[in-house]
Chains A and B, each alone.
Chain A
Amino acid sequence: MAPSDRAPAWPAGTSGMARRIRELDWSATPLGPVEGWPERLKVVVEMMLASPLVSTLACGPERVFLYNDAAGRLYGQRHPQMLGRPLAESFPRSYPEVIAFYDRSFAGEPVHVAAQPADVSEQGGEIFEAYLTPVRGSDGRVIAVHMTGFEVGRRLAADAALRESEERQAALLKLADALRPLVDPIQIQSTASRILGEHLRANRVAYAEDLGDGATVILTRNYTDGVPGIEGRYSYLDYGEDLLPEMQAGRPVIRPDIANDPRLSVAEKAAHAVLQLGATLNVPQVKDGRLVAILAVHYRTAHSFPPQEVALVQEVAERTWAALERARAEEAFRRGEERFRAIVETARDYAIFAVDAAGRIEAWPTGAREVFGWSAEEAIGQPVDMTFTPEDRARGVPEAERSTARIAGAAPDVRWHLRKDGSRVFIDGVTRPLTGPDGAVTGFLKVGQDVTERRATEDALHESEARFRQFGDASADVLWIRNAETLEFEYVSPAFEEIHGAPLSSILDGNHVRRWLELVLPEDRALALDHLRRVREGEHVLHAYRVLRPDGEVRWIRDTGFPLLDDRNRVQRLAGIGHDATEEVELNDRLRVLVAELQHRSRNLMSVVRGVADRTLTTSETLDDFRPRFRARLEALGRVNGLLSRLDEGQRITFDQLLRTELAAHGVLDGPDHGEQVELSGPAGVPLPSATVQTFALALHELATNALKHGALSRPEGRLRVSWSLQRGREGERRLRVEWREHGVPVDVPDDAPAGGRQGYGRVLIELALPYQLRAPTTYELTAEGLRCTVIVPVSSTLDVAFSSQRDAHA
């Protein structure tokens, strides 16, 4: 054909392949020049070029290849040389696989080639899906085959990856579902092994725990399929020396083909063979830098363990570990919870319960039920205020308590509370706020002990103490209690202050023993201490010591000490009763003096009686003469001793008393100051020294006897006048002057006149005895009128006041 004959260039279009087809010298191909191509073919070529899809044509028996731009991009480096060449030359590798499809299509059949691997590009490996469509000539014969194709390898790979991922996720979900309810570690391990084993179609999956000795691992459960279980202990070293270090570093150890693994020795291979290990994957669990567990996947024969499998096993190992941790934590929590519950539930005397922020009861364990009486059903949801007494509720105590707890972190709850039955229970407790994570108060925890009984005991104790104190306070004696060890006072009754004249603080400050001893007279201190020592040794001791009061007064303390024993009979305390015995001791002393005086006086009296008897005997002619005179003298002695014995302490016999007693005994006195013949005058109450009265009385007796017998009183016309007065001696001492004067009876020569060497006894006493004994100047003279005698005696010095008043009264 001449170029001039050429129609406008075919095929039209600006695409690369349109241009190439236009420019190709088709006459050099089995198809021949374009002008000779059937019209139908040309139409298909145009459609091919217009298609955005990969589109090609294989024409004629030679299968000459035409393609569009989309296909050209796919064919890479082989494009554009492939244009116009037979298929067999363009695709030498995949041609044998695809030729059959083309043959079928040239035979008139539309063919669908699904996911056919084809080396369409230079790299190969694509997976191609294609539709082959026969193109018929006008005569009905197939002149070409049109192919529209899609590269589906990537989609397929993505689909496969998705499917695999879905399967993995499904397996993991299954694992999660299976593990969630499990709390037993062994069950968790075996379930995880089973699920993994089934998913991987492995022959054995085992979860093994490292024993921490750097050498061995223990395998308690394994999933098996077609191989025996291998529970037991194994040494890492038997399975390759890199196994342990690798796993300790956290890296999985993959052995896809043990039988041919060059890194394993013959012995190691043999050890694997015993366990029927063709391929193994060991995934370590390293926690806090320490190998803790291994998840092992075994195949009886070689297995390649692609990365996603390794990842899955790692994931399962991780989840299994997490499940084990959770189980262990739950177990620990459950145990802790049980213990806590046990504590709360068994604390019967303690009401431990919780209320919400509004004061409603939220938790009401056994202790609260026991203490308050409400059941949990009755109490929960109710205001806690019902446990308070009406008085406290009226005073707003429940709200105040919560408010205090809120502000101060704790509020004491120590008060009477109300029980369900209306009775009251004394609670010693505390209310604390419960706070949420944000620090807000979410409620209150109340912990309280029922101390009603203890309180009753304490009340009784207080009562008992009050009684004891009352007793001690009222006691006039000092009640005291000391600590046996330190000897410190534990109790001293208030009578101490009265008796010692010092405040209690004076012995209770500082060293008790020293302070107390300082009150004791120095000479009595050793004894007082000894007394304490003996009580401490368990003795009951009664002894007396003296204390010196700050006011200088000395007091006698008679102390009865006794030990107080503990239940093991050891002396725990010393106790005692200190009695102020001063008056008793003084009385005792006085009594001793009185007794001594009495002894003294009666013995002296015996001497006097003997003297009187001798004297009377020497002046008596006969016993008949002796008897009345001796008797009369004894009676006179008896009278004066009677007067003496009736005296009180410090009293003295007075002169007028002595005189009247003597005259009355002789029957010559009928009134206080006179008888018919007797006249007495002088002050009353002039005291005589006791030592003089006996001799004085005897002298008066002799004077009266003589007056009756021979003197003024022997006849009715006779008169006796006794007068006495007080005067001062030369040294100003007080003296009593007594004058005895008889008259009216002429004087005979009396018996008692000095005759024959015998003096009358009265005269002897007046003239000799009184001066001797009393240093009393005396006179004794017989006048024609009668006897006149004077005696001047000292007055007792003890009653100066009485003396003064008497003198004034009789001045």
Chain B
Amino acid sequence: MPEPNTASRLLRGRRILVVEDDYITAEDLAMELASLGAEVIGPVPDLAGAFELLAADPPPHAAILDINLGGEMVFPLADRLRDRAIPFVLATGYEEWAIPEPYVRMPRFEKPLNIRQVASALAE
């Protein structure tokens, strides 16, 4: 794989928590984030693991959250991140109407993810 140029290393030095239950997707995402200079925390397939990683020090700068984690909804984690003012994006295969009302306005990207859009959202 060619080395990305520095201009594209949007996420250099940023710790990004990846919560995604599908191994293949999670590995793919982690590789892409790494290629943009991010330090990937995880990936982790479930809420329990995610909360564990969140407790570590230093905490992540940002997070990418799959909504449906093998039947378990990610929203409690989203709530926690919001409480801690850690920016995050939701990654989902669901349409907007399938998302519960309180979470509709959270930043959301549809799968398959365009990593550059996601990175832009998380770079700030």
Using a CB–CB cutoff of 8 Å, the interface residues on chain A facing chain B are 592-593, 596, 599-604, 606-608, 610-612, 614-615, 618, 689, 691-692, 694-695, 698, 765, 768-770, 772-773, 775
Q: Is the CB of B93 within 8 A of A769?
A: no
Query: Contact: B93 with A615, CB < 8 Å?
Result: no
B51 to chain A, nearest CB (A): 16
Report the nearest A residue to B110, measured CB to CB: A603
B residues in contact with A592, CB < 8 Å:
97-98
Q: How far is A604 from B68 in the complex, measured between Cα atoms in Å?
A: 11
Chain A residues with CB under 8 A of B28: 607, 610-611, 614
Q: Which residues 60-76 of B sit at the A interface, judged by CB distance below 8 A?
A: 68, 70-71
Instruction: Check A610–B22 contact: CB distance below 8 A.
Output: no
List, in ascending order, chain A residues with CB within 8 A of B97's CB.
592, 596
Chain A CB within 8 A of B103 CB: no
Q: Evaluate contact between A596 and B94: CB separation under 8 angstroms.
A: yes
| Interface pair B71/A691, CB less than 8 Å apart | yes
Which residues of B lie under 8 Å from residue A692 when comparing CB positions? 70
Pair B45/A600 contact, Cβ less than 8 Å: no
- Specify which of B23, B45, B97, B112 lies most central, judged by the most chain A CB atoms within 10 Å of its CB: B23
**Does B79 touch A at the CB level, under 8 Å?**
no
Q: Which residue of A lies closest to B95 (CB)?
A: A599
Supposing A596-B95, A600-B92 touch, asked if A606 and B112 sit within 8 A by C-beta, the answer is yes
Residues of chain B touching chain A, judged by Cβ–Cβ distance below 8 Å, are: 1, 21-28, 31, 45-46, 68, 70-71, 92-95, 97-98, 110-113
Q: In the assembled complex, how far is the CB of residue A587 from the closest CB belonging to chain B, in whole angstroms? A: 17
Q: Taking the nearest CB of chain A, how far is it from the CB of B90, in angstroms?
A: 13
For B68, list chain A residues within 8 Å (CB): 600
Tell me the smallest distance from the CB of A652 to a CB of chain B, in Å: 12
Q: Say whether A610 contacts B98, CB under 8 Å.
A: no
Q: Are B24 and A615 within 8 A (Cβ)?
A: yes
Q: Knowing A599-B95, A600-B68, say if A691 contacts B24 (CB, 8 Å).
A: no
CB neighbours (8 Å) of A600 from chain B are 68, 92-94, 98
- A608 vs B21: C-alpha distance in the bound complex, in angstroms? 11
CA distance A611 to B111 in the complex (A): 12
Give the CA-CA distance A618 to B31 in the complex, in Å: 12
Give the chain A neighbours of B92 by CB distance below 8 A: 600, 603
- Which residues from chain A contact B21 at a C-beta distance below 8 Å? 691, 773
For A694, what are the chain B residues with a Cβ–Cβ distance below 8 Å? 22
| B24 in contact with A607 (CB, 8 Å) | yes
The number of inter-chain residue pairs (CB within 8 angstroms) is: 78
Q: Which residues of A contact B25 (CB under 8 A)?
A: 604, 607-608, 610-611
The CA of A592 and the CA of B93, in the complex, are separated in Å by: 14
A599 near B94: Cβ-Cβ < 8 Å: yes
- Is B71 a contact of A603 with CB atoms below 8 Å? no
Instruction: Write the nearest CB–CB distance from B35 to chain A, whole angstroms.
Output: 11
Q: A607-B111, A608-B25 are in contact. Are A772 and B45 (CB under 8 A)?
A: yes
- Are B112 and A602 within 8 A (Cβ)? no
Closest Cβ neighbor of B46 among chain A residues: A775
With A600-B94, A606-B111, A775-B46 known, 5 other A-B pairs at CB within 8 A are A603-B110, A607-B24, A610-B25, A691-B21, A773-B22
CB-contact partner of A695 in B24, B31, B112, B113, under 8 A: B24
Which A residues are in CB contact (< 8 Å) with B95? Answer: 596, 599
CB-nearest residue of chain B relative to A613?
Answer: B28
CA distance A183 to B34 in the complex (A): 134
Residue from the set B1, B26, B31, B111 with the largest chain A CB neighbour count within 10 Å:
B111
What's the nearest-Cβ distance from chain B to residue A775, in Å?
8
- Some 6 contacts from A to B, beta carbons below 8 A apart, are A592-B98, A606-B111, A618-B1, A689-B70, A694-B22, A765-B23
Closest 10 interchain pairs by CB?
A603-B93, A600-B93, A611-B24, A769-B23, A596-B98, A611-B28, A607-B25, A603-B111, A691-B70, A772-B23
Cβ contacts under 8 Å, A615 to chain B: 24, 27
Contact residues in B for A695 (Cβ distance below 8 Å): 22-24
Verify A772–B26 contact, CB threshold 8 A: yes
Instruction: Give the distance in Å from the alpha carbon of A692 to the alpha carbon of B46 in the complex.
Output: 13
A695 to B94, CA, bound (A): 20
A610 shortest CB reach to chain B, Å: 5
- In the complex, the chain A residue whose C-beta lies closest to that of B99 is A596
Residues of chain B contacted by A603 (CB below 8 angstroms): 92-93, 110-112
Contact A769:B111 (CB < 8 A) given known A601-B93, A689-B70: no
Q: Which residues of chain A have C-beta atoms less than 8 A from B71's C-beta?
A: 689, 691
Select which of A596, A599, A618, A768 is within 8 A of B23 by beta carbon.
A768
CA distance A773 to B21 in the complex (A): 6
CA–CA, A592 to B95, complex, Å? 11
Determine the residue in chain A with the shortest Cβ distance to B31.
A614
Among B25, B71, B94, residue most surrounded by chain A Cβ atoms (within 10 Å): B25
When distances are taken between beta carbons in the complex, the residues of chain B under 8 Å from A691 are: 21, 70-71
CB distance from B15 to the nearest CB of A (A): 20
Are B45's CB and A607's CB within 8 A? no
Chain A residues, CB < 8 A from B111? 603-604, 606-607
Which residues of chain A come closer than 8 Å to B45, judged between CB atoms? Answer: 772-773, 775
Counting chain A CB atoms within 10 Å of each CB, the highest count among B22, B27, B31, B92 belongs to: B22
Cα A291 to Cα B20 in complex, Å, equals 126
Q: How far, in angstroms, from A517 to B32 measured CA to CA in the complex?
A: 58
Does A607 contact B94, Cβ atoms closer than 8 Å?
Answer: no
In this complex, the member of B21, B24, B45, B70 whose beta carbon has the largest number of chain A beta carbons within 10 angstroms is B24
Residues of chain B with a CB closer than 8 A to A607's CB: 22, 24-25, 28, 111-113
**Known contacts A614-B28, A689-B71, A772-B45: does B94 contact A604 (CB below 8 Å)?**
no
> CA of A610 to CA of B25 in the docked complex: distance in angstroms?
8
Docked Cα-Cα span, A689 to B98, in Å, equals 21
Residue of B nearest to A615 (CB): B24
The interface residues of chain B lying within 8 Å CB-to-CB of A775 are 45-46
**How near does chain A come to B108, taking the closest CB pair, in angstroms?**
12
A618 vs B24: C-alpha distance when bound (angstroms): 14
Chain B residues with Cβ below 8 Å from A773 are 21-23, 45, 70
Q: Please, how many angstroms separate the alpha-carbon atoms of A606 and B113 in the complex?
A: 10
CB distance from B53 to the nearest CB of A (A): 14
A608-B25, A773-B21 known; A599+B112 contact, CB < 8 A = no
Q: Which residues of B contact A614 (CB under 8 A)?
A: 28, 31
Chain B hits for A601, CB < 8 A: 93
* B68 and chain A: residue at smallest CB distance: A600
CB distance from B92 to the nearest CB of A (A): 7
Give chain B nearest CB distance to A604 CB in angstroms.
5
A444 to B: closest C-beta gap in Å: 84
For the complex, give the distance between the alpha carbons of A602 and B93 in Å: 8
The CA-CA distance from A773 to B26 in the complex, in Å, is 10
Q: How far is the CA of A692 from the CA of B94 in the complex (A)?
A: 19
Interface centre among A593, A692, A769 (most CB of B within 10 A): A769
The minimal Cβ–Cβ distance linking A499 to chain B, given in whole angstroms, is: 29
On chain B, the residues within 8 Å of A608 by CB distance are: 22, 24-25
- Chain B residues near A765 (CB-CB < 8 A): 23
> How near does chain B come to A772, taking the closest CB pair, in angstroms?
4
Name the residue of chain A whose CB is nearest to the CB of B111.
A603
In the bound assembly, the distance between CA atoms of A604 and B45 in angstroms comes to 14
> Shortest distance in angstroms between A746's beta carbon and chain B's nearest beta carbon?
32
A600 to B22, CA, bound (A): 13
A618 and B28 CA atoms in complex are apart in Å by 12
Nearest residue in A to B98 (C-beta to C-beta)?
Answer: A596
